[in-house]
Amino acid sequence: MMPCSTQFEYRAWPSEGMPHVEALHHMFGIGVAEIRTDTYVLSANRPEWFMIMRGGTRVEIKVKIGEQDPVSAWKILLKSDFPLRRSLVRTLQETFPAAELPDRISAPGDLLSWVGQDASICAVSKRMVHFQRGNCTAVLAQVEADGCCAETFCLTAKRYEPLVAALEMIPGPRLPNLHYGSWLQRSVLGIPPAPVAEDAQKAERASSWRAAFLALPVGSRRPDAALRW
């Protein structure tokens, strides 16, 4: 299991083709292809986080800690291969109390059978190309979930400034930032987006994001940080 870490992410869902392929090849070079099926577990008890079973071998829990246009900030709470570590099982037991999860979960099927009664489960088939250079990772993917097909483009980094700098180098149009959980809820599960928050609620979330951002190590938020290819 890996310790908590912060990750900044921008994810878009182009409706007609991938608009950034040529720019990514120019910026990042040759990508690495991968085909994989990931399973997403979305809980009404914990709408701020979701669990991902990557390729049926590893479980990851992510929580969204804030937003600052155009990116989101995420905390990767827990990662574990099977059998799941005790700390991850305890988190799942707290999130899904009605499931009465056992203290040991050894296989993906066991986990899904226990939590499936108290959560939405979506299997997402992905055909991806990964690009990595310097401080940023880019991924282009064609995905399919329950008959719903889409294309998605993602940039991630452990620091805010390099991600925004990379995003500014990619030609527009700039599409809305929408993470996997929101896309699955809207496009696959048919759950409408939450109502727009009032100004006071927006200000409170922005303040929380700034506090979390400022709590990061100074080296992770230097104003003069830039892409270093």
Q: What pairs with residue 81 in β-bridges? A: 58
Residue 215: per-residue pLDDT: 54
Residue 32: per-residue pLDDT: 92
pTM: 0.77
Q: What is the DSSP letter of 15?
A: S
Q: What is the pLDDT averaged over residues 86-103? A: 84
Residue 27: per-residue pLDDT: 79
Q: What is the pLDDT averaged over residues 126-143? A: 91
Considering the domain 5-189, what is its CATH architecture? Beta Barrel (2.40)
Residue 168: per-residue pLDDT: 87
Q: What pairs with residue 53 in β-bridges? A: 39, 59
Residue 28: how many other CB atoms lie within 10 Å: 19
Question: 3-state DSSP call for residue 23?
Answer: helix
pLDDT of 49 over the 60 cut:
yes
d(CA 183, CA 190): 10
d(CA 220, CA 161): 8
Q: Sorting pLDDT into bands at 50, 70 and 90, what band is 227?
A: very low
Q: Sorting pLDDT into bands at 50, 70 and 90, what band is 4?
A: low
CB-CB contact of 222 with 78 (8 Å)? no
Residue 1: how many other CB atoms lie within 10 Å: 12
